[in-house]
Amino acid sequence: MTAITFDTLKYVEALKAAGITEEQAKAQAEALKEVQASQLQELATKADVEGVKLELRHEMTTLKVEIIKWMIGLLMGQTALLIAAVKILT
């Protein structure tokens, strides 16, 4: 997984320059760092996306096979009905 870096020192320095105390700036930087870390756990990786793509391909293939089976079954049923209709009418 690619790491997303957060420059806490730069963040603390920016807060201090804006008039926030160093103690408060460090606390905010640490809190933000923890929030970002927890959010990163929720992100999908490339491997996750590839896994879903493979699952979808498999499901699509299965669906195509089922559709073909139904089409063949319906064609056979239709043919049987036509044959029966011809026999009844002749």
In contact, 29 and 16? CB cutoff 8 Å = no
Q: CA separation (Å) from 35 to 5, 11, 12, 16?
A: 13, 15, 16, 21
Residue 41 vs residue 61, higher pLDDT: 61
pLDDT in tens, 65-89: 999 999 999 999 999 999 999 999 9
Mean pLDDT (whole number) for 7-27 = 94
Question: Does the pTM of the predicted model rise above 0.75?
Answer: no
- The tokens of 51 are what? 């896994």
Q: What is the pLDDT of residues 32-53, one digit of tens each?
A: 998 888 888 788 889 999 999 9
Instruction: Band the pLDDT of 3: cuts 50, 70, 90.
Output: low
pLDDT digits (tens, 9 = 90+) for 25-37: 999 999 999 888 8
Nearby residues of 45 by Cβ (< 8 Å), 6 or more positions away: 1
Which residues of the chain form beta strands (DSSP E)? Answer: none
Residue whose entry in the numeric block shows the structure tokens 């927890």: 38
pLDDT of 32: 92
